[in-house]
Chain A
């Protein structure tokens, strides 16, 4: 298995809702990432997990809460989001130093209404 799988593919949520994005990989990668991508912009790093521990938080607002239950799974819990949080959320993984490439999922298209 050489894929990163993200669910759901599309999500519409209200500003008072709580939802979660999920990411899964079975390549044995020990580093996993969340990126946010707005239209016509490059992906921007949000969080990095290394060996299931949060290693980098790029000053992301607390309404985004990451979780890494095990080495294959990465979640992003969403609560009280704003319309400007609407974006494509991408998950990626790599062996621990990123020197053999990063594999990206297809993303979750999130719309906050």
Chain B
């Protein structure tokens, strides 16, 4: 389904702490998932992705976990820095009869306190 128009949840963390951002997705047939970071006035910036045949994938300071049983994704950011402050969106790639599309989750605001 599409995102619901609610206020974005906010996660506030202290600089240096680890952050965990959660996301629920809607389509059991989704085969590919992406986390994006979006700063004010900019387009979404790719962070990390994961395919449906994996449970975990690690990047530099970031880890994505996928739980297909409950249709849940999480993004873990290690040693959070002030530059990590942004809105974070998960997105699922849905391939249908007429082509593929990327559907975004509701988003989470991450605020890093120095």
Interface residues in chain A, defined as those with a beta carbon under 8 Å from any beta carbon in chain B:
4, 6, 31, 33, 40-45, 48, 50, 55-56, 90, 92, 94, 96-99, 101-107, 109
User: A42 with B89: in contact, given A92-B102, A97-B100 (CB under 8 Å)?
Assistant: yes
Contacting pair A42 B104 (CB below 8 A):
yes
Contacting pair B105 A42 (CB below 8 A):
yes
Tell me the count of chain B residues lying within 8 A, CB to CB, of chain A.
31
B31 at the interface (CB under 8 A from A): yes
- Per a CB cutoff under 8 Å, which of A6, A31, A90, A104 touches B100? A31
Residues of chain B contacted by A103 (CB below 8 angstroms): 46
B59 at the interface (CB under 8 A from A): no
Closest residue of chain A to B105 (Cβ to Cβ) is A42
Contacting pair B98 A56 (CB below 8 A):
yes
Interface string of B74-114 (1 = CB under 8 A from A): 00000000000000010101010011111111110000000
B8 at the interface (CB under 8 A from A): yes
Contacting pair A104 B43 (CB below 8 A):
yes
- Per a CB cutoff under 8 Å, which of A41, A48, A90, A106 touches B101? A48
Residues of chain A contacted by B89 (CB below 8 angstroms): 42-43
18 contacts between A and B (CB under 8 A): A40-B7, A40-B8, A41-B107, A43-B89, A44-B104, A48-B100, A48-B101, A55-B99, A56-B98, A56-B101, A94-B100, A94-B102, A96-B100, A97-B95, A98-B95, A98-B101, A102-B91, A104-B45
Residues of chain A contacted by B107 (CB below 8 angstroms): 40-42
Residues of chain B contacted by A106 (CB below 8 angstroms): 42-43
Residues of chain A contacted by B1 (CB below 8 angstroms): none
Residues of chain A contacted by B44 (CB below 8 angstroms): 43, 90, 104
Contacting pair B43 A105 (CB below 8 A):
yes
B34 at the interface (CB under 8 A from A): yes
In the assembly, what is the distance between CA of A44 and CA of B99, in Å? 16
Contacting pair B102 A98 (CB below 8 A):
yes
Residues of chain A contacted by B3 (CB below 8 angstroms): 41-42, 44
Sorted from nearest, which 7 A-B pairs have the closest CB atoms? A42-B104, A104-B43, A55-B99, A98-B100, A98-B93, A106-B43, A50-B99
Residues of chain B contacted by A105 (CB below 8 angstroms): 43
